[in-house]
Every structure is written in C-alpha cells, then in structure tokens.
Amino acid sequence: MKALTKTNFNFPGQESFYQGKVRDVYGLANNLLVMVASDRISAFDVVLPKGIPGKGQVLNQIANYFLDATSDIVPNWKQVMADPMVTIGAKAEPFKVEMVIRGCLTGHAWRTYKSGARQLCGVELPEGMLENQAFPSPIITPTTKADQGMHDEDISREAILEQGIVSEADYLALEKYTRALFKRGQEMAQKRGLILVDTKYEFGKNAAGEIILIDEIHTPDSSRYFYAENYQERLEQGLAQKQLSKEFVREWLMENGFQGKEGQKIPEMTEAFVKQVSERYAELFEQITGQKFQAYPEEELETRIENNVIKHLKALS
C-alpha cells in the first residue's frame, strides 16, 4: 500500500489551503471545507518522516462513524464523506481551545502525576492513584489550540475565562457537549469490548453562530482505548494495559530517546515498524466499528480523491 503524505489539489471554488500535522484542509466558496486525512503521523507535536499506509482512511472513516453516531448530541461540520480519505463539510470559526477529557490516569496525566504534581489544568487529582486507574468521574483538562508549528499547552478553565479565550456561556456549553460526547463514546466502546480512556474534541461556530463539533472524533489520533478484558487484573498487578491508540508510537519514540525536545533526533522508522503501525490502525477500525477494514486500491490515489471530491461538490452545489 502507498502512503499519502502530501496533497496539492486545486478544487473548483478553492480559496485557501492549510496543512495541519495530519490533515490537508481546502477552503472553498460557499462556506465549504474539503478535509483530506493524509497518512502522515505525528507524535509530541512533530510529524514523523514516514507515512503510515491506510492510516488516513482509518481516521476518516472512524471519524465519520462517530460524527453520525453523535449528531443528536451536538451538530457537526460533516456534510458528506466524499472518499475513504476525505470529508466535505461546513466551515467554522474554531475555538482556540481543545477540550481534552480523561477517564483514567494515563499518558500525559500519569507522567504529570508521577512527577509529584497533584493538579492538572486546575483539576485536583486524588492521592494514591495507580497508573491507568479510572478517575471517580471523568476530568476535563483543556489545552490551548496552538498555531502551526507551536505546541499545545495545558490551561485551566479559570485561565480560559480570565483571558477571555472563550466566553463563559460558550465554555459551559463546550463542557456540557464534551461530557455528553465522551459518555456516548464510552458506551459505544464498551459494546465492542473496549474502554474509551481519554480523547479530545474541537468545536467552532458556523456561519449562523451555532456551536458545532469540528475535525475528528474518537479516532486513534485523538483518543486512547484499552481492551476491557483483563483491565482490572492488569491494573492490580501493575501491568501495562493492552491498548489501541497512538500511545505505543509515543512509547517507541521515548524508548529510542525522542520526546520532541530540541536537539533530539527522530529514530529510524523501519519498514517493519511502519507495517506494525499500519496494522494497529486497521485493528482499531475493526474493533471499534465491528466492520472489516477494506483497503482501497491506491495506485492512482490522488486521481481517485480528486474525482470523488469533484463529483460530490457538484452534488452539493
């Protein structure tokens, strides 16, 4: 399979182009966005040198699966999945915070806790917790939405309101939506034998001034999943949880001396490692959706995407 790491389309009515860490976003007339989920992979806010075949398709299809499954909770930006790797939807003015919600003490939260801190983003953390232990109730730990090339930073609810980053009324709505979306995600994961451990949501306001969910939702790039089977036994024995997420990529990088800090060199991504990551993404797709992952022929990947997008833009016009 071929990895799509860069795009250079020129769609009808195109007005802008933005390349994120993973997604290429094309702004069109009539308040439309074409979002291409590339096969790029990032960790520690750094885009790694090799793409992961099939990753963009997995991200896009999982995001669409959950956008459809949560549209009764909050409206979202999606209008149509135009291609396995592409979604077309409505433009929105993003809020400059990402709403991170955590059900368990793991990842960044655990590393903070292990260092001795007992507060994260203004939220008090209980004493005596184990790595991967569930919080009494999920906690919201927002981050600032960084400009391109910058790192996202932890921020408290109080600081967000004091600095006027989001109005109080809007922030209360974001918190309400975040908790409801996470609850739905946990329920859906439980039915598939998984635990949705933590995730992040991005919101914006559309042309009508309505708050909508934007970008991706419950994908392995924005979320962490544990297998429910043997979770409690592993927790009590101090064993690592069996998980489906991008965390194993971060762990591999850390084991090889890279955490995105200045002067550190990204370790070599062997073909075997790339294949392993690709298989993990396909595994998550099948586990969370209950559907077989169907890799599409990619010999003429760019042509396929362009033709599918143009066809759907005509239907939307």
CA 14 distance to own-chain centroid: 26
Q: What is the pLDDT of residue 209?
A: 96
Q: What is the pLDDT of residue 297?
A: 67
Q: What is the pLDDT of residue 70?
A: 98
- Distance of alpha carbon 179 from alpha carbon 101, whole angstroms: 8
CB atoms within 10 A of CB 240: 12
- Distance of alpha carbon 271 from alpha carbon 289, whole angstroms: 27
* Residue type, position 97, single letter: V
CATH numbers and ranges of domains, the chain: 94-245 (3.30.470.20)
- Distance of alpha carbon 186 from alpha carbon 191, whole angstroms: 9
Longest CA–CA span in the chain (Å) reads 58
CB atoms within 10 A of CB 225: 26
Q: What is the pLDDT of residue 150?
A: 55
Q: What is the pTM of this model?
A: 0.90
- Distance of alpha carbon 252 from alpha carbon 280, whole angstroms: 14
Q: What is the pLDDT of residue 247?
A: 76
Name the token pair of 147: 């400009």
Q: What is the pLDDT of residue 55?
A: 94
Residues in the chain: 317
- Distance of alpha carbon 223 from alpha carbon 210, whole angstroms: 25
Q: What is the pLDDT of residue 147?
A: 60
| Contact criterion met (CB below 8 Å) for 83 and 305 | yes
Q: What is the pLDDT of residue 298?
A: 61
pLDDT tens digit at each of 317 positions of the chain: 789 999 999 999 999 999 998 999 999 998 999 999 999 999 988 999 999 999 999 999 999 999 999 999 999 999 999 999 999 999 999 999 999 999 999 999 999 999 999 999 999 999 999 999 999 999 999 999 766 545 679 999 999 999 999 999 999 999 999 999 999 999 999 999 999 999 999 999 999 999 999 999 999 888 999 999 999 999 999 999 998 878 789 889 999 999 999 999 999 999 999 999 999 889 889 999 999 999 876 668 899 999 999 999 999 87
Question: Among candidates 103, 45, 21, 58, which has minimal Cα distance to 280?
Answer: 58
